[in-house]
Amino acid sequence: MKRYSAFSIFREALRNNSGWQRAWAAPEPKAQYDIVIVGAGGHGLATAYYLARNHGIANVAVLEKGWLGGGNTGRNTTVIRSNYLQDPSAAIYEKSRSLYETLSQDLNMNIMFSPRGVMMLAQTEHEVRGYKRTAQANALQGVATEFIPPARVRELCPIIRIDGPRYPVLGALWQPRAGTARHDAVAWGYARACSAMGIDIIERCEVTAIRSNAGQVAGVETTRGAISCGKLALVVAGHSGHLAEMAGFRLPIESVALQALVSEPIKPCLDVVVMANTVHGYMSQSDKGEMVIGGGADGYNNYTQRGSFHHVEETVRSLIETFPMLSRLKMLRQWGGIVDMTGDRSPILSKTPLGGCYVNCGWGTGGFKAIPGSGWAMAELLAKGHSPLAEAFGLDRFREGRFIDESVAAGVAH
């Protein structure tokens, strides 16, 4: 694989761009792999990448029923932050955020990580208290955040309406090294790096059954033939429940639709990410100038990748209250992704009742930010059988009542 560099761009400019290679290979599936990962989204590809890079296991296949990064990896609002309340969450999300800092160099692919800062608005007295508590917790966890007063909010984000009649801005939880990245590039970068290390990425290959032998996973049946494997990792977000049923167990997960929308492009006016959880909406401005807007999730199970219209209306209505200048903006596109929600709104990285079968799911509305950290921990779990970062996120936490309750502390509107 040729390295990308400023020199390669210059050289290809002189050669009419005739020397670019495929970013990743398209191999036929082999009959047997050490580890099969189902799902070539960000989490699945990152898992494969760290398996090869950190643990030297490269006899790995990543199976994808559609196209690479075509699920939630390509459907999110690209926010990266780690200002969580609970210690296990802060550890894995901060690991992830810190990996994002150097990911472009590690993958030799510009993922456009932009640490522009994330501001979570406190619009009620309860939120002020909650975010002050989170800021203190973050200080103990080694995550750089601070609670900032309204004057500083206005300084960082001049277009915001500080003294709105219903939900005035009373302050914000500010994480200066949080931000955004180019979501597709993250998937492409991991895929390219995986392919270069000899990992097979097999697209348009849907898993139709999971084979087991005496309580131990034996392989998978796919639309491109049977593949046997030593270990199996299900990293399929919203479709985890569907695959778990194939493997013969159930997960404490329900799949719902979460929507986002973008406006027409406008001149630069917002250089931070603003989240307003009381009114269920968050927003950033893309490099193209579009306002990228996310809202709340639907309350009922849904696999259709489209959400309810009234949620769009609620999100936009509340954002206009906080950002009055948006009221004349036209919206260009709206889309939905299927998110896998657990009871405590924390992910599951765990072994399962089927021996050799592992799951990585339940990231719910906040999976994109976790891609590198999740891959790092999942690779360790697959290679060694345990991982310090993943330990608290086991399935047994539901039986034992050790919840990692982020439903009140999490940033996005759940």
Partner 1 sequence: MLILTCPCCGIKADETELAPGGEAHIKRHGPGSSDAEFEAYLFTRANPRGVHFERWRHAYGCGKWFLAARATDTLEVFGTYPATSTAVPDAILSRIRARRPDWIKPDRIKPA
Binding site for partner 1 (CB under 8 A): 239-242, 244-245, 248-255, 299-304, 308-310, 343, 352-353, 395, 398-399
Q: How far is the CB of 395 from partner 1 (least distance, A)?
A: 5
Q: Determine the residue type at 306.
A: R
Is the CB of 163 or the CB of 400 nearer to partner 1?
400
Is the CB of 20 or the CB of 309 nearer to partner 1?
309
Helix (H, G, I), strand (E, B) or coil at 398: helix
Q: What angle do CA 216, 222, 224 make, to 5 degrees?
A: 140
Cβ-count burial 71-91 (b if 16+ within 10 Å, e if not): bbbbbbbbbbbbbbbbebbbb
Radius of gyration of the chain (CA): 21
Cβ-count burial 108-119 (b if 16+ within 10 Å, e if not): ebebebbbbbbb
Is the CB of 310 or the CB of 328 nearer to partner 1?
310
Distance CA 224, CA 204 (A): 8
Sign of CA dihedral 295, 42, 180, 115: positive
Instruction: Collect all residues with Cβ–Cβ distance below 8 Å to 45 and sequence separation of at least 6.
Output: 62, 68, 69, 187, 190, 191, 194, 201, 375
Phi-psi region of 282 (alpha: psi -120 to 50; beta: other; left: phi over 0): beta
Is the CB of 81 or the CB of 345 nearer to partner 1?
345
Tokens encoding 126: 């309860």
> Among 411, 370, 310, 408, which Cα is nearest to 73's?
370
Is the CB of 126 or the CB of 242 nearer to partner 1?
242
Cβ count within 10 A of residue 298: 18
Is the CB of 10 or the CB of 300 nearer to partner 1?
300
Is the CB of 251 or the CB of 274 nearer to partner 1?
251
Q: How far is the CB of 134 from partner 1 (least distance, A)?
A: 26
Q: How far is the CB of 302 from partner 1 (least distance, A)?
A: 6
Is the CB of 4 or the CB of 403 nearer to partner 1?
403
Q: How far is the CB of 24 from partner 1 (least distance, A)?
A: 28
Q: How far is the CB of 394 from partner 1 (least distance, A)?
A: 10
Is the CB of 19 or the CB of 299 nearer to partner 1?
299
Do β-strands 60-63 and 32-38 pair in parallel, antiparallel, or remain unpaired? parallel
Burial of 274 by CB count in 10 Å (0-12 exposed, 13-18 middle, 19+ buried)?
Answer: buried
**CA dist 83 to 18, 179, 254, Å?**
45, 12, 25
